[in-house]
Structure 1
């Protein structure tokens, strides 16, 4: 399986960077995508890999990224939708969407759907980085941008449940054509997660508690396993994993109608902005 093309978003830091290094070390052709030009270019030089810079808070950059990948990658064997973050106070992007929702769900949804024909033709694996916080979600499909009852934790939890619902609907729509979608929880990882925001989470990552967290390499283990193992044999397409085992999900994750409605609502939001 070595030598495949694996696109990793959110690769300039944390588990994305650790996964890119591990996959490159196994002989995979890793395409590095990150928001920070300096960090992304540095990792690409280290790995002798192709790289792209894109800020998922700007949908125009996501569209440009998809166009560049389609132009330069005849096949995409694995797409790792790892970019994301928690934002704290409610902010909106230039596209008019709540930032946590756009960066964690709407942008990777857009990227994946723009690449869908290439992914299906490649019989690709699509991996979504979710979180155990999906269990705390209170998702309102009529208020995905959380104009009402906003909190940073709720926005992030909702987005992580959206990742799982998207995974399952992607599998339903394209699984028969050979695409395999899966989501996972990396664990509490000692990274720069939430830096540059006013989220209270950033304070935890600056205390001695950080020493109790997983290393980025440990957090990336399940991601690397999903990218290099066999769908249907080693893991169940449409499933959600932690530490290479099936992980619990929110009760709504099993609602096929909710997954379909989220997909359709995401398409509507992208069509209008």
Structure 2
């Protein structure tokens, strides 16, 4: 199995990479910091005996970096069996990416949208599973299509909730648009994981996170549903589904809004071609 994963150097991504390395997957770790990525690849190889672990530079907030990473992968690989869009983040203050997009939108959605589009020939050849790490935070998502970039009104949690809702819309759209080509897609909530998530938050948000920390699960526990979706043999009938604790669960009502997710897809296609 050839598997690509973003956000592999910490938290859930690192734990997921370790479990898949143990299962013999040929792993391509897409990382912002190639020094950390190379160190992790060597570490996982030592720990698991798996020699097919590689790191590839990819900054999801930079569309040129995403395209460059995809071209490198296409030059090395014939097919991809699993793509795990795992990387994400929450940003206390509104920031913009190199391409001018609000950072939560860029990292959690648009970078993964472009990566998936660019890798589509390899994914189709590999009859791939595409796994998008979402969150129960999607239930507070209330997107404003006239202000996707949060210029008029920004809050960290609102932007994050919207982005996690986009992850589910993206998943359902892939299942609809590419199911006849053999692709399956799944979204998931990993649990509230004790990792570096939320570093930099302040005020009430920081207080809430500190109070919740004793009840958070480990990255290893948080990775279980991702690993399940990447390896379980009989999931094709659940394509487009949202999973929690390795079981399909019902997402929010907005998550099933076909018109909204089609609008997001069309807007995303426009945005990723804007800088060409």
Question: Which interval holds the TM-score relative to the shorter structure?
Answer: over 0.9
Are the structure 2 counterparts of residues 199 and 242 from structure 1 closer, same or farther at C-alpha, using a change threshold of 3 Å? farther
Q: Deviations over 1:123-179 (max 9, x none)?
A: 000000000000000112232112222111000000000000011011111011100
The equivalent residue for 1:229 is 232
The equivalent residue for 1:194 is 198
The equivalent residue for 2:48 is none
CA distance in structure 2 between the aligned counterparts of 1:60 and 1:194, rounded to whole angstroms:
26
CA distance in structure 1 between the aligned counterparts of 2:2 and 2:159, rounded to whole angstroms:
32
Are the structure 2 counterparts of residues 70 and 204 from structure 1 closer, same or farther at C-alpha, using a change threshold of 3 Å? farther
Choose from 147, 153, 172 the match for 1:149. 153
Paired positions, count: 267
The equivalent residue for 2:56 is 52
Q: Does structure 1 conserve the Cα–Cα contact (< 8 Å) formed by 2:141 and 2:165? A: yes
The equivalent residue for 1:29 is 26
Deviation at 1:120, TM superposition (A): 1.1
Query: How well do the aligned residues superpose, as a CA RMSD in angstroms?
Result: 1.6
Q: How does 1:39-118 map to 2 (within 5 A)?
A: 39-48=36-45, 49-118=53-122
Deviation at 1:257, TM superposition (A): 1.6
User: Matched residue of 1:127: which SS?
Assistant: strand
TM-score (norm 2): 0.92
Deviation at 1:117, TM superposition (A): 1.6
Choose from 1, 6, 9 the match for 1:9. 6
Is 2:182 the counterpart of 1:178?
yes
User: Matched residue of 2:60: which SS?
Assistant: coil
Are the structure 2 counterparts of residues 199 and 228 from structure 1 closer, same or farther at C-alpha, using a change threshold of 3 Å? farther
Deviation at 1:69, TM superposition (A): 1.1
Q: Deviations over 1:215-235 (max 9, x none)?
A: 0000000000000012536x6
CA distance in structure 2 between the aligned counterparts of 1:36 and 1:66, rounded to whole angstroms:
16
For structure 2, the 5+ residue unaligned runs are: 46-52
User: Matched residue of 2:130: which SS?
Assistant: strand
Structure 1 runs (4+) deviating above 6 angstroms are: none
Deviation at 1:36, TM superposition (A): 2.7
TM-score (norm 1): 0.93
Choose from 209, 213, 221 the match for 2:216. 213
